[in-house]
Structure 1
């Protein structure tokens, strides 16, 4: 089965799908190695790791598509990829979804923010009007149909921030009618709002667990009980990695041995040297003495 078909079947099981998020191919390898069933490609993480800039609409479609390609090439797991606003109007959305599909994405997320967009838990978010927002999802569904692939469409709305939860719910319901598979109402402020999202909307719903963000971080069993089908953790790995790197850098700057380093042998294995050596033996009669 294709990654998209496997992802759809996994969601149909009814069990909460938990996806750590990656911003590069190495992180994707680690997520797969740890035993997760899918992953999310975070635009925040890609922007930070690829161009060293905030998730504020600075990274381009081409850079994001290349990140999708590199990540999908590094893992066999389904990759749910952040398509931001689609990088323009409905025609740009079609191109974005098509490009992501051809790069290997199992799901593509499209949102209703104006361009340049913002991280969903930071200041300055604005959304396009509801008609344009729905047109983006219709364009994504059309691109999927024309490409003939079983990619899933994640429809995200950030309307809760400026227009309230009722408007966000209305948009999400319209997105479902336009062809979205997974509905993502960003930044609910309470468990009560999260319960409304799951209780009033059709189809699969996605929870975004941003540590320190506007949405409460609930245990996974509670997210499942509320009715979420998918829980993404977009910044957990990047926050852990950056904290560890800064601590190591401080130790080096003060001539102290960094603590908590992964052993070199384990590092080589995570990067893939052992797999490389095993494959290399097929093409050479030479052996190590």
Structure 2
């Protein structure tokens, strides 16, 4: 039986546009798995937004993402791509981050070339480190990994130095050992189509609802040759909309009744968190 790392590598190499939703906690991960997705992304933006109530501007630390990764790893059996931001420092910090996150259950570590503190890839005002510094971080990540862990290299240079410079950086990162490439926040459909032609390593394309990149369907992205189509915070945005809807109803009507269009049924919530399993264990050990 394939390990989750082997499963993820096979998905990347198939280049069929596998949709990877973002999970911001263990329950959201269980919903993703329950709906039949093949992999998930432990989102730093989601952890920051939902865990701290803060914007994605470098407030998350290594311990935060490692704790969330471990909880999600315990909750689901899917391959996990984990957002490690900038590696939380220099090449040595990156080495430590990779070891920490692999122990927590990551199957792939995503590293980006922004200046620390980073910010969401679809925010304005980004800055990137020198290519040589990022290459050192990737080499450190490759040296630190064990048991087939994948390394994903993200570049945010398109917003700073232009599309061609971002492609050049991505190629350098592949040569340094990155298994998957992620060119963030390209702004035209032409650039989306061009990337698989210009870079040979499997790639991820990030679809941010309301972001800078035009939304392209996963089927088309698969035909273009992308390995993964990331929807890092679709579940988060849906959860926020759902919370706002039900809480507005409670505020205005002074009650909320069982309505599957408004709230998940009580029994469904218990099913998702595995209550029958724990009930069986309770009987076994009684």
For residues 171-209 of structure 1, the C-alpha deviation after alignment (integer angstroms, 9 at most, x for no partner) is 100100111010000011111101221110111010001
Alignment of 1:54-133 (within 5 A): 54-133=55-134
CA distance in 2, matches of 1:9, 1:277: 36
More contact order relative to length (CA 8 Å, sep ≥ 6):
2
**For residue 173 of structure 1, what is the aligned residue in structure 2?**
171
> Are 2:152 and 1:150 equivalent residues in the alignment?
no
Deviation at 1:256, TM superposition (A): 4.1
CA distance in 2, matches of 1:253, 1:119: 33
TM-score (norm 2): 0.95
**For residue 157 of structure 2, what is the aligned residue in structure 1?**
159
Deviates more, 1:195-204 or 1:255-264: 255-264
For residues 80-131 of structure 1, the C-alpha deviation after alignment (integer angstroms, 9 at most, x for no partner) is 0000000000000001111110101010000000000000001221100111
Deviation at 1:273, TM superposition (A): 0.9
For residues 21-67 of structure 1, the C-alpha deviation after alignment (integer angstroms, 9 at most, x for no partner) is 10100101111111111101111001112222111001111111111
CA distance in 2, matches of 1:88, 1:134: 14
TM-score (norm 1): 0.94
Deviation at 1:70, TM superposition (A): 1.0
Residue pair 1:172, 1:183 contacting (<8 A) in 2 also: yes
> Gaps (5+ residues) in structure 2?
none
CA distance in 1, matches of 2:70, 2:272: 20
Residue pair 1:134, 1:171 contacting (<8 A) in 2 also: no
**For residue 54 of structure 2, what is the aligned residue in structure 1?**
53
Residue pair 2:15, 2:226 contacting (<8 A) in 1 also: no
CA distance in 2, matches of 1:175, 1:257: 55
CA distance in 2, matches of 1:98, 1:53: 27
Alignment of 1:1-289 (within 5 A): 1-144=2-145, 148-258=146-256, 260-284=262-286
CA distance in 2, matches of 1:202, 1:13: 13
Residue pair 1:207, 1:231 contacting (<8 A) in 2 also: yes
Residue pair 2:17, 2:223 contacting (<8 A) in 1 also: no
CA distance in 2, matches of 1:246, 1:13: 39
Q: Quote the RMSD (CA, aligned, Å).
A: 1.2
> Gaps (5+ residues) in structure 1?
285-289
